[in-house]
Amino acid sequence: MRILVTGGAGFIGSEFVRRWLTSEPTAHVTVLDKLTYSGVEENLASVARHPGYRFVRGDVCDPDVVDQVTAGQDAVVHFAAESHVDRSITGAGPFVHTNVVGTQVLLDAALRHRVGRFLQVSTDEVYGSISEGSWTEEWPLAPSSPYSASKAAADLLVLACHRTHGMDVVVTRCTNNYGPHQFPEKVVPLFITNLLDGKNVPLYGDGRHIRDWLHVSDHCQGIELVLRGGRSGEVYNIGGGTEVSNHKLTGLLLDAVGADWDRVTYVADRKGHDLRYSLDDSKIREQLGYAPRFPFAEGLAATVAWYRDSRSWWEPLKTGGARG
Ligand SMILES: NC(=O)c1ccc[n+]([C@@H]2O[C@H](COP(=O)([O-])OP(=O)(O)OC[C@H]3O[C@@H](n4cnc5c(N)ncnc54)[C@H](O)[C@@H]3O)[C@@H](O)[C@H]2O)c1
């Protein structure tokens, strides 16, 4: 299968590309990535010599480059996005441009070149916040931040392309990911790297916000299952089943590096902060055999170890201050 992976130099996209090329010696993957602040081409160094690998630096909003890289593809796996909620609160423009306009540019090219399947990588944040129970795929979209609103808009454009043009599309909506190669502005790598540097960590509000954590490798397993076997025009939730408050997560990370609560600075809550995310992912489990493999405690310990051993990766990226 020849696939175009947008945003393949980012945290999740690079895991997907490494996994795909490692498991399939005859695979062909073209990565289209603008290499924004969160894109790191070195994330793909381990597969750079694979004969089926090609890297193109370019913008998903640029119709010319998108047209060139889309021709001849069997599938598009669309990760490229502005992905950090805090940045969307201080400046929504790039989120609308990349996440909404960029998705439509890709859809137009995929339609023109009759690409076999378009997979939109989305997020549970499009559903908003839920105090009790869990979202199924039928839940109405009620995004809270400019980031999640731009992802919801993109999801709707993708699904509209199916209804209008009959394009083969699938949408995945995943919970919060953690793992190696995550840009150190998001909460897990920000806290780990701050603690390793002897600095304090900034905890929003009272830390009662609940997230459902999933290892990045399990997310990519889910994407692969949907790419290969998902039903056209449908949405698949990908969950972790590990709901943890930010307070508890902070405690686990402090323990992992041997630090105390005096290293925590409580800061004013994020504007419009969603209280709880919780996905019902029985559809992908029952229909496609999805089952996350990384227990949270093990995955988190491995992630802390990776950051401890990979200072040369994160030190140059670290700007400090932002949180995910
Ligand atoms: N991180 C999570 O917990 C999570 C959870 C669910 C879904 N998602 C979704 O997964 C996708 C990837 O997220 P991530 O955490 O890996 O993000 P990331 O910020 O680490 O990576 C984004 C990648 O997209 C590239 N990019 C950004 N704008 C681009 C543009 N205009 N043209 C081409 N490339 C561009 C960046 O250079 C980077 O390599 C996003 O669509 C995000 O919404 C993320």
Residue 75, sorted as left (phi over 0), alpha (psi -120 to 50) or beta, turns out to be beta
Distance 259 CA to ligand 1 centre (A): 31
- What pLDDT sits at residue 90? 95
Higher pLDDT residue, 241 or 107?
Answer: 107
Q: What is the mean pLDDT of residues 81-92?
A: 95
21 near 53, Cβ under 8 Å?
A: yes
Q: How many CB atoms lie within 10 A of CB 257?
A: 15
- What pLDDT sits at residue 20? 97
- What pLDDT sits at residue 184? 96
Domain ranges (residues) in the chain: 2-175+216-238, 178-211+242-271+294-317
Q: Which of 16, 32, 37, 38 to mutate to test the pocket of ligand 1 (most atoms within 8 A of CB)?
A: 38
Q: What is the mean pLDDT of residues 14-33?
A: 95
Distance 10 CA to ligand 1 centre (A): 6
- What pLDDT sits at residue 322? 39
150 near 96, Cβ under 8 Å?
A: yes
Q: Which tens digits make up the pLDDT trace of 111-140?
A: 999 999 999 999 999 999 999 999 999 999
Residue 272 burial by Cβ neighbours in a 10 Å radius (0-12, 13-18, 19+): middle
Q: What is the mean pLDDT of residues 83-95?
A: 95
Give the CA dihedral 316, 50, 99, 289, nearest 10 degrees. -110
**pLDDT tier at 319 (50, 70, 90 boundaries)?**
confident
pLDDT at 52 > cutoff 60 = yes
Q: What is the mean pLDDT of residues 290-318?
A: 96
DSSP conformation class of 258: T
Q: How many CB atoms lie within 10 A of CB 309?
A: 10
- CATH class of the domain whose range is 2-175+216-238: alpha beta
- What pLDDT sits at residue 18? 98
Q: Which tens digits make up the pLDDT trace of 62-86?
A: 999 999 999 999 999 999 999 999 9
- CATH class of the domain whose range is 178-211+242-271+294-317: alpha beta
- What pLDDT sits at residue 120? 98
Q: Which tens digits make up the pLDDT trace of 198-218?
A: 999 999 988 999 999 999 999
Q: Do the domains 2-175+216-238 and 178-211+242-271+294-317 sit in the same CATH topology, yes or no?
A: no
100 near 156, Cβ under 8 Å?
A: no
**Nearest residue by C-alpha to atom 25 in ligand 1:** 7
Atom in ligand 1 nearest the alpha carbon of residue 151: 43
Q: In the predicted model, what is the mean pLDDT of the chain?
A: 95
H/E stretch holding 13 reads: helix 11-23
- What pLDDT sits at residue 24? 85
- Report the first-to-last Cα separation within the chain, whole angstroms: 34
Q: How many CB atoms lie within 10 A of CB 268?
A: 8
Q: What is the mean pLDDT of residues 283-287?
A: 98
If DSSP states are collapsed to H, E and C, what string results for 275-304? CECCECCHHHHHHHCCCCCCCHHHHHHHHH
| Sheet containing 28-33, strands listed edge to edge, beginning at the edge strand earlier in sequence | 53-57, 28-33, 2-6, 75-78, 117-123, 169-174, 234-238
Distance 248 CA to ligand 1 centre (A): 26
What is the pTM (predicted TM-score) of this model? 0.97
Residue 80, sorted as left (phi over 0), alpha (psi -120 to 50) or beta, turns out to be beta
pLDDT at 108 > cutoff 80 = yes
Percentage of residues in the chain having pLDDT higher than 70: 98
pLDDT at 320 > cutoff 60 = no
